[in-house]
Amino acid sequence: MKLEEQLVERGGNKCELCGAGDTLKIYEVQPQSGRDQDNCILTCDKCQSQIDRKEELDGRHWRGLSETMWSEVPGIQVVSWRMLNRLRHESWAMDNLEMMYLSEETLAWAKATGDHDNDGSVELHKDCNGKVLQNGDAVILVKSLDVKGSTLNAKMGTVVKNIRLVQDNTEQIEGKIEGQTIVILTKYIRKQNG
């Protein structure tokens, strides 16, 4: 039986963290040396996005961890412990953390990424109005910009299609204007509707 089939059977075709039944994927709990039932879990898109910090952390979504944390599957225990730590500012999460027991080996695995040291905050690329930006979005300049090292002047109202997010800087995106790829500060753009 393939790994995905095993996980679907184990989880009853539902997310093993929150119980949702839509768009399930295998999540590989890092670090790991090989994929198996102990270090892979079945998650929904919402759980995976929040685990990977691609979406704001929603405490209400994670309330199911109060039950999930008692799973005998090491991968589920590790992710539950990490997420409860990221939500530790909420009393219910702190209460669950105090009750949760992990073997020494599982606790060492849970701490291995250092994710538990971080709070629940997420750094996302946002436009001047606070809307979350994604790769491939179209944006509009809200200010005319002189492009450094070029004679190009990008006028206010210019539409920049198919943007790329700059990985290590949430205040910058890349886009093409007049065939030239430039870096644009997110405070000078707004997401185009539709």
For residues 155-169, give the mean pLDDT.
Answer: 89
Report CA-CA distances (Å) from 171 to 83, 124, 139, 183, 190.
26, 9, 14, 10, 13
Is residue 126, in this structure, part of any structural domain at all? no
Q: Tell me the percentage of the chain whose pLDDT exceeds 90.
A: 56
> Which residues constitute the domain of residue 164?
139-191
Indicate whether 101 and 42 sit together in one domain.
yes
- CB–CB of 174/166 below 8 Å? yes
Residue 176: phi and psi, rounded to 5, are -105, 130
Percentage with pLDDT > 70 across the chain: 95
Say whether both 109 and 143 belong to one domain: no
Does 35 score more than 80 pLDDT? yes
Q: Are residues 150 and 108 in the same domain?
A: no
Q: Is the pLDDT of residue 49 over 80?
A: yes
Per-residue pLDDT, 150: 77
pLDDT at 166 over 80: yes
106 and 174, same structural domain?
A: no
- Domain end call among 117, 149, 171: 117
Do 56 and 91 form a contact (C-beta atoms < 8 A)?
no
